[in-house]
Amino acid sequence: MFYDDIDNALKVIGVRILHASTHKKDRWVPTRSYNTLSFRINARSSCVFDETRRVEINKGDLLFMPADTKFGHNADYERLIVIHFESEKPFEKAFGVMHFENYDEMRTLFESAYHTWALKLTGYYQKTVSIFYKILEKLSVSDNPTYATYAYKSILPAVERMQRRFKDPSLKISDLCELVNLSDTQFRKHFLTVFGVTPMKYLTKLRLKYTCELLDGSPMSIEEVAHSSGFNDAKHFSTVFKKAYNISPLQYRKR
């Protein structure tokens, strides 16, 4: 689905609340140059695409509409919040209807995006984008059966701490095990089930990815990069980096 295209930069251009009047016959909507993601607060309606494909849309449904999509629409009633956004690359020409299990949670996110955009207080754009990506995160997670498993739920607090504190060299796997009340063996087993790597390798990947950002965009020395990314010393960092990328940190920076 569109929310899993991590290489496609997205830009929010508007958030609106819409109320559809009753119309039993299809009304054909002109194509738009932007994408839309909408959430039905309340609805009993349908859309038709390619003049033949019809989908029903009800309360709690989300509808993704790529740019330049022609569609017809009819409704008994409908109230929705829609986020308009542009994308760096065009999406595949296909709409998508989704249903998120927790109606109240998704409604709260869309309403928060709308009010933030409408009030336009300082930092409103950044906050709206943050909410938008939170919505995409929820959809991505709910669409992946792995994230509904006991294994994922049991280690989630530890994963979140790793993602927040990976730059801290004092962060220990044993502390993460204690956080989620699992033995080292249980924690490692669940981690392998969900991510396919050990907790330590996952933590190292987070650190290495950050070192690449620092090597590309900062004047820090190799030693400073190492310490800023959670590695205890530059020599160990260089060894791990070269093993992962088959190139030294210095060579990476000069490439």
pLDDT tens for each residue of 61-92: 998 988 988 888 787 788 999 999 999 888 76
Average pLDDT over residues 224-235: 93
Q: 2-142 has which fold?
A: Jelly Rolls (2.60.120)
> Is-contact 42 59, C-beta < 8 A?
yes
Number of H helices, E strands in the chain: 9, 7
- Give pLDDT, residue 3: 67
Q: Which of 48-57, 100-109, 111-120, 137-146 has the highest mean pLDDT?
A: 111-120
- Give pLDDT, residue 178: 95
Average pLDDT over residues 101-107: 91
- Give pLDDT, residue 105: 93
Residue corresponding to tokens 């996110």? 109
Q: What whole-number distance in Å separates Cα of residue 244 and Cα of residue 105?
A: 40
pLDDT tens for each residue of 173-222: 999 999 999 999 999 988 888 888 899 999 999 999 999 999 988 889 99
Task: Break the chain into its structural domains and give their ranges.
Answer: 2-142, 150-254
Average pLDDT over residues 164-175: 93
Please determine, for residue 38, whether its predicted confidence score (pLDDT) is greater than 80.
Answer: yes
Tell the CATH superfamily of the 150-254 domain: Homeodomain-like (1.10.10.60)
Average pLDDT over residues 225-234: 92
Q: How high does pLDDT run on average in the chain? A: 87
Q: What whole-number distance in Å separates Cα of residue 117 and Cα of residue 126?
A: 10
The two three-digit tokens of residue 143, written as one number: 């669409």
pLDDT tens for each residue of 115-136: 999 999 999 999 999 999 999 9
